[in-house]
Amino acid sequence: MALRTRFTETFGVEHPIVQGGMMWVGRAELAAAVSEAGGLGIITALTQPTPDDLRREIDRAREITDKPIGVNVTILPSINPPPYQDYVKAIIESGVKIVETAGSNPEPFLPYYKEAGIKVLHKCTSVRHALKAQKIGVDGVSIDGFECAGHPGEDDVPGLILIPAAAKALDIPVIASGGIADARGLVAALALGADGVNMGTRFMITQESAVHENVKNAVVERTERDTQLIFRTLHNTARVAANEISAKVVEIEKAGGTFEDVKDLVAGARGRRVFEEGDLNAGIWTAGQVQGLIDDVPTCAELIDRMVSEAEELIKSRLAGMLA
Ligand SMILES: Cc1cc2nc3c(=O)[nH]c(=O)nc-3n(C[C@H](O)[C@H](O)[C@H](O)COP(=O)(O)O)c2cc1C
């Protein structure tokens, strides 16, 4: 069985399930496994040190699957901004047809994507930003609720409210993101008016994800209470896995510290060590509250197959069975 929605139609994907961009995690093997299983796998552009490395990563994914693959381009404030234009050029020249944009307004790059026939899925955290994205011509939006891993924005509106509010306000396909790990989340998102789901933390904890086993085991054991919000005082909130470093960062922030005071603690290179070496306190690493719903490490195909078949069961039996 397949679930057909406006998202699957517009983006040419079999199932309405997206693997969101993930720094240090969204590599070829993971993205290709998700796409091969009928979802939309997304390679994270900036995990590759150069645009040429990104070209090679896309080629590697293509060796594993010939189904559609997307690339995430996240534009965040940065002391040394990467050469975004060159990454975008690499994506276009590689023939990728779906881009996930995030972080800031994708408008400067939209004409290039459009000209290349690329569908753009913009990820944001509020209805007003989603409306803006629709206005400038993106093809769909992913909306991250407050429960999500990574940057939930500053409005603190959870998905249960944000998703239906967005679905009501928008005409383009809406993907629900944040807090989804299984068929229950998928069916709930569809009931709220979404056209599909985006998952980060859940796909990080799969066989094809290259993160260290210690990270996978930790997420399986952790509960929904084991995340922490850092950078609140800087108005650049990030939801991360609670650990010694996140606690230190919040302590410094509470004492009136600036970004300069936490810069070394939050360095990307330290976070990368968590994923590569498995030292859970080496740095900041991203995970969402949905950790509380994750209790195994399936392959991407097992995960997607069971989400789709259990969704069918939920709709046909549980929900239909409630009709008196
Ligand atoms: C390890 C990790 C790294 C992430 N890095 C990025 C990123 O670079 N760009 C981005 O747009 N989103 C990033 N995200 C957010 C995900 O794409 C997705 O929006 C989020 O995980 C959804 O919440 P969930 O984890 O509850 O499913 C990251 C998430 C995780 C878990």
Q: Does residue 238 share a domain with residue 205?
A: no
Residue 217 lies in a domain: no
Q: Does residue 203 share a domain with residue 92?
A: yes
Q: Would you say 99 and 121 are in contact if contact means Cβ atoms under 8 Å apart?
A: yes
- Asked whether 177 lines ligand 1 (CB < 6 A), one says yes
- Flag whether pLDDT at 182 surpasses 90: yes
DSSP string covering 222-284: --TT-EEEE-TTTT--EEEE--HHHHHHHHHHHTT--HHHHTTTT-HHHHHHHHHH--TTSS-
Query: Residue with the nearest Cα to atom 22 of ligand 1?
Result: 178
Q: Does residue 179 share a domain with residue 102?
A: yes
pLDDT digit string, tens, across residues 203-241: 999 999 999 999 999 999 999 999 999 999 999 999 999
Q: What is the CA radius of gyration of the chain?
A: 19
pLDDT digit string, tens, across residues 254-301: 999 999 999 999 999 999 999 999 999 999 999 999 999 999 999 999
How far is the C-alpha of 161 from the C-alpha of 166, rounded, in Å?
A: 9
**Any idea which residue has 């998202």 for tokens?**
7
Q: In one letter, which amino acid is 11? A: F
Q: Does residue 239 share a domain with residue 155?
A: no
Q: Does residue 230 share a domain with residue 156?
A: no
Average pLDDT, the chain: 97
Number of alpha carbons in the 13 Å side-chain half-sphere of residue 251: 8
Q: Does residue 89 share a domain with residue 231?
A: no
How far is the C-alpha of 84 from the C-alpha of 242, rounded, in Å?
A: 31
The pLDDT value recorded for residue 80 is: 83
CATH number at residue 65: 3.20.20.70
Residue 305 lies in a domain: no
The pLDDT value recorded for residue 300 is: 99
Q: Does residue 157 share a domain with residue 51?
A: yes
Q: Does residue 201 share a domain with residue 265?
A: no
- Asked whether 204 lines ligand 1 (CB < 6 A), one says yes
How far is the C-alpha of 232 from the C-alpha of 229, rounded, in Å?
A: 7
The pLDDT value recorded for residue 209 is: 98
- Asked whether 211 lines ligand 1 (CB < 6 A), one says no
Q: Does residue 149 share a domain with residue 119?
A: yes
| Å from CA of 322 to ligand 1 middle | 35
- Asked whether 37 lines ligand 1 (CB < 6 A), one says no
Q: Would you say 245 and 281 are in contact if contact means Cβ atoms under 8 Å apart?
A: yes
Q: Would you say 119 and 105 are in contact if contact means Cβ atoms under 8 Å apart?
A: no
Q: Would you say 79 and 53 are in contact if contact means Cβ atoms under 8 Å apart?
A: no
Query: Residue with the nearest Cα to atom 7 of ligand 1?
Result: 22
Helix, coil or strand: residue 102: strand
- Flag whether pLDDT at 78 surpasses 80: no
pLDDT digit string, tens, across residues 103-158: 999 999 999 999 999 999 999 999 999 999 999 999 999 999 999 999 999 999 99
Q: Would you say 287 and 220 are in contact if contact means Cβ atoms under 8 Å apart?
A: no
The pLDDT value recorded for residue 77 is: 75
pTM: 0.98
Number of alpha carbons in the 13 Å side-chain half-sphere of residue 291: 23
The pLDDT value recorded for residue 321 is: 97
How many Å from the N-terminal Cα to the C-terminal Cα in the chain?
Answer: 26
Range of the structural domain that residue 93 is part of = 6-210
The pLDDT value recorded for residue 79 is: 73
Query: Residue with the nearest Cα to atom 12 of ligand 1?
Result: 21
Q: Does residue 66 share a domain with residue 98?
A: yes
- Flag whether pLDDT at 76 surpasses 90: no
Residue 315 lies in a domain: no
**Domain boundary, last residue among 175, 210, 245:** 210
The pLDDT value recorded for residue 2 is: 83
Helix, coil or strand: residue 311: helix
Q: Does residue 233 share a domain with residue 179?
A: no
Q: Does residue 113 share a domain with residue 62?
A: yes
| Other CB atoms within 10 A of residue 156 CB | 13
| Other CB atoms within 10 A of residue 226 CB | 16
